[in-house]
Amino acid sequence: MEKRILGRSGLEVSAMGLGCMGLSYGYGPAVERQAGVALIRTAVERGVTFFDTAEAYGPFANEELVGEALAPYRDHVVIATKFGFKDGNVQAGLDSRPERIRAVAEAALTRLRTDRIDLFYQHRVDPNVPIEDVAGTVGALIREGKVKHFGLSEAGAQTIRRAHAVQPVAALQSEYSLWWREPEQEILPILEELGIGFVPFSPLGKGFLTGSITESTSFDNSDFRNIVPRFSTEARKANQVLVDLLTHQATARAATPAQIALAWLLARKPWIIPIPGTTKQHRLEENIGAASIELTPADLAEIEIAISRIAVQGDRYPAHLQARVGR
């Protein structure tokens, strides 16, 4: 698979990463552990070198799964994990105090079966801790060799700038896809200016852009999408027009809607590395296949014209979670 570098950090990864959250958390019951290990190892064999996890996914179970799966390949892959929630619990609120960051790093090293974290993200900006203190703490961990690179997730433009002035930010991870393009307004320009890589999560719109979710689809009770306004029955019905557009584009190229959505992201900037997640081997193969699809300028212009006529319906987060992003 093609390799890309996250901004000016020098951190080289596969053009397509793997978001591992859904194997343990967020989208219904966790997969059986050995099935998760097998899927991650298949990704390695297919050329994926960039794997994303977090202490909050489980909590802790996902880091343990990723650690077991990647142990045989540790020197050939890049592992990203995150800190930022009290006791690793998303429901408990934010906690990026320096002592908590250090505690998370030490615990993550054990769970990941490694001696260094390649990319250590602040999961969400903590308004109670100056971002300079966060950046400084991660910078100290970098000097100690426990962390290699610093990242932010869902941070606003000014927070990115302030953090980067203390400790260079290698990557920003935020939602970005054909159905959530807000990062184009302020985030992409500042990342380009500062030489920071961009790692879009939910590049397939939490599964919607695959075409496998309709207005009649029901989710497991533990599935996060049950509380997402954009996944209400009415919104899914209205947003089907976006899937229809992708299906039209895919048919002309012997591809799938998901592959076109991912290829579109890859074509945006050479320092964008999407991390689609999946629990299924065939979806993994499909996503990896998108890395070999090259959309021409004419293709991109055609998609842009078509998408400009579509108004995506529904907020991407409920209000209490929306308050945590863009700070």
Catalytic residue among 57, 73, 121, 317: 57
Is 57 noted as a catalytic residue in this protein?
yes
SS3 sequence, the chain?
A: CCEEECCCCCCEEECCCEECHHHCCCECCCCCHHHHHHHHHHHHHCCCCEEECCCCCCCCHHHHHHHHHHHHHHHHCEEEEEECEHHHCHHHCECCCHHHHHHHHHHHHHHCCCCCECEEEECCCCCCCCHHHHHHHHHHHHHCCCECCEEEECCCHHHHHHHHHHCCEEEEEEECECCECHHHCCHHHHHHHHCCEEEEECCCHHHHHHCCCCCCCCCCCCEHHHHCHHHCHHHHHHHHHHHHHHHHHHHCCCCCHHHHHHHHHHHHCCCECCCCECCCHHHHHHHHHHHHCCCCHHHHHHHHHHHCCCCCCCCCCCHHHHCCCCC
Spatial contact of 224 and 207, defined as CB atoms under 8 Å apart: no
C-alpha to C-alpha distances, 45 to 40, 69, 253, 260, 293, nearest whole angstrom: 9, 12, 26, 23, 20
Show which residues are catalytic: 57
